Amino acid sequence: MNNILEKIYKSAAKFLVPLTLEDMYALIVKEAIKLVGANYGSVVLYQNGQLKRVYTSYPVLNQIKPRPQGFTYRAFKSRQTTIIDVAKAAKIHPLVKNSQIQSIVMIPLSYRNKSIGVLTIDFHHKEQFNQEQLNVLKLFGSLATLAIRKTQLYDEIRQAVEARDLFISMAAHEFRTPLTTINGYVQLLCSKLSNANSIEARWAEELLAETKRLTVLINELLEVERIKNSNFSYKLHINSLREVIRRAVTNFHFMHPNRRLVFTDNLGKDDTVIGDFDKLIQTLNNLLDNAVKFSPEGKDIELTLGYHTPYFTVAVKDYGKGVAEQDLKKIFDKYQRGSNHSAEGMGIGLYLAKNIIESHQGKIKLFSRENQGTIVEIKLPKIKK
């Protein structure tokens, strides 16, 4: 008995490996056959109001459909491991007689006291099990059920994520055309009202700022798609890191005229890096925007440039709510936002920043404590001379 239990636990360990549903069914049947020295096996699940054979190691059995009053349904409803009299089954299903099957063991598959199906094991010889052995096989069925449910849930999550990503990608593409038109007209309106000191002129400026922000968000969504499809391209040149920061600071003052940004330059003369100028600016824009989102008005945002062999360092610090400890490990994941934040955004800024910086052979880290603020540090390699 101990030997059988040991085999069951070894089989259960194999069930932990991420597999497709078809591969998981095959593995369960394979392990069941090996466990008791059977010849064939099948997984029968309850779907759309009826039992359906979703996998079998003996294709002939696919021609046999479980009957509502048959042995498979009885095992399904009773949730008890049973041995079937093949002589009786052969009268109903001639294919069973021709298959040389002599014994069939029905192992219930149940989850949270609810049947989800039956695992059948077929033998070419007469097989007998005592009640204790049948209970052990029921244990195997329970572990197989957990493996099936885990795989089903994983498959559902995968499909949901794919559907979400497809929707976001399509929506982003569809939004670009009307947004470009809106942006063009708003710029014309701002140009026309540029010399006017009126509330309408301020409205137009605010509308232009919001339109540009929306454009950035949509472009970020499209860039997430390009990263996922490995189509995220870079134009690498020798650039001045100070110039990258200057542009990012200019963007910050334009987008957040009421916020104070303190820039500290601790760097020597050499500030040259190899990188994509626009994407480095985009990274800093994202980090500075996050700092504004997650810190109260009146609190400074600090930007520091330095060098620590062999990297240039750029740090953005805020004095906001910080990131909860349980969120730190996944803060750079796609569509991930801190659980203690209600600020607007889709949670892709840090994901993009990480991909961009790591593609520049750099590193990005986030240090945070709740109610004490957050520091995001970028490291970019210095050009070797």
- The tokens describing 192, both together, are 């026309």
Amino acid 228: pLDDT: 64
CA dihedral 208, 251, 278, 267 (to 10 degrees): 180
Amino acid 127: pLDDT: 79
Whether 201 and 194 have beta carbons less than 8 Å apart is answered as yes
Amino acid 41: pLDDT: 94
Amino acid 199: pLDDT: 87
The residue with tokens 């002589």 is 87
Q: How far is CA 28 from CA 59, 77, 121, 140, 355, in A?
A: 16, 21, 11, 9, 39
pLDDT in tens, 241-253: 999 999 999 888 8
H helix or E strand, kind and range, residue 260: none
Amino acid 92: pLDDT: 60
CA-CA distance, 208 to 30, in Å (whole number)?
64
The residue with tokens 């359906």 is 52
The residue with tokens 């991420």 is 18
pLDDT < 50 regions, the chain:
342-346
CA-CA distance, 373 to 333, in Å (whole number)?
20
Amino acid 21: pLDDT: 93
Q: How many CA atoms lie within 13 A of 265 on its CB side?
A: 11
Domains of the chain: 2-157 (3.30.450.40), 237-381 (3.30.565.10)
Closest CA to 6 of 107, 139, 96, 112: 139
In sequence order, the 6+-apart residues with CB closer than 8 A to the CB of 14 are 27, 31
- The tokens describing 202, both together, are 């301020």
Amino acid 345: pLDDT: 47
Amino acid 230: pLDDT: 58
Burial call 212-230: b when 16+ CB within 10 Å, e when fewer? beebbbbebbebbbebeee
The residue with tokens 């005592």 is 130
Amino acid 52: pLDDT: 94
CA-CA distance, 339 to 324, in Å (whole number)?
7
- The tokens describing 86, both together, are 């093949």
SS3 category, 38: coil
CA-CA distance, 43 to 29, in Å (whole number)?
7
pLDDT in tens, 64-97: 888 888 888 988 999 888 888 776 665 666 666 6
- The tokens describing 95, both together, are 């294919």
- The tokens describing 257, both together, are 């005229």
SS3 category, 345: coil
What are the DSSP calls for 316-357, one per residue? EEE-SS---GGGGGGTTSTT---TT---SS-S-HHHHHHHHH
Closest CA to 330 of 350, 314, 316, 345: 350
Amino acid 363: pLDDT: 95
Amino acid 152: pLDDT: 92
CA-CA distance, 112 to 94, in Å (whole number)?
36
